[in-house]
Structure 1
């Protein structure tokens, strides 16, 4: 598997991964009814540096890297990751996270923070913890899950 910067030619494949995940509304605190343009504007926002995980020419996942905050908080990175449903459990998210940690270090970030990890996303929580992230805060009932109702979200952090 190769993780590389996204190219313009990758946009359709990336959106085919991102749009259904956002529409499901189970892991991202964003409107679920975004049209194609809004999904594109979100994932390829001006502060997002976008990457793809590729195997045998197929895009299996995508992530973005950005500063978590501006000004005095700009030394902390933030990322969002999405894996194709056909590639779940194949190490794609792990590969993307490891890549993002390396790229964040190369860009001079001193830490990485995930602001809103939904507690019911247990696979992600377990993966992030295995890669050195700690739950540094719990946001009680901060996410309205379409199946489970109001559930906690975590702030997760690790130094680089």
Structure 2
């Protein structure tokens, strides 16, 4: 797997990954009817270092790294990850996570914190726990799941 900085030239492929995840409305806070422009502007915003994961020349995943807080909280990185539906279960998420940890350290971060992991996203929660994250907080009913209704959200953390 090859990891590269994402560019606007990757927009079509990024949207192919992002759109079905956002439309499902089960794992990210964005409205399911969010526009391509809104989502690509968010994912590729200058406040983030955004990457693509390529296998055999095809983009199968993407993630970003950004300071979780400004100034005195900027040593902790926040991140978001998405894997193409057709690539699920192939270890793409795990590979992106492993690379993102070393890349975050290279960028000067000392820890990683996820502020909003939906508790029903058991695949993500399980992966993060296997990779050393701890649930350090739980916000009751903070996410309006389209099928489950009000759903808890976890704050997860690990040192890098």
Q: Counterpart of 1:49?
A: 49
| C-alpha separation in 2, matches of 1:45 and 1:10 | 14
Equivalent residues of 2:8, 2:44 under 8 A apart: no
Deviations 1:40-85 (A, max 9, x none): 1111112111101111111110001110110111110010000000
Which ranges of structure 2 fall in alignment gaps of 5 or more residues? none
| 1:123 shift after superposition | 0.5
RMSD: 0.9
Q: Structure 1 unaligned runs (5+)? A: none
Between the aligned partners of 2:12 and 2:132, the Cα distance in structure 1 is 33
After the TM superposition, which parts of structure 1 deviate over 4 Å for at least 4 consecutive aligned residues?
Answer: none
SS of corresponding position for 1:135: strand
Counterpart position of 2:129? 129
Alignment of 1:1-160 (within 5 A): 1-160=1-160
CA–CA distance in structure 2, aligned partners of residues 137 and 76 of structure 1: 16
**TM-score, length-normalised on structure 1?**
0.97
- Distance in 2 between the 1:10 and 1:153 partners? 31
How many residues in Structure 1 have an aligned counterpart in Structure 2? 160
Deviation at 1:3, TM superposition (A): 1.7
Instruction: Kindly state the Cα deviation for residue 31 of structure 1 after the two structures are TM-superposed.
Output: 2.0
TM-score (norm 2): 0.97
CA distance in 2, matches of 1:142, 1:9: 35
**Structure 1 residue 93 displacement after superposition:** 0.4
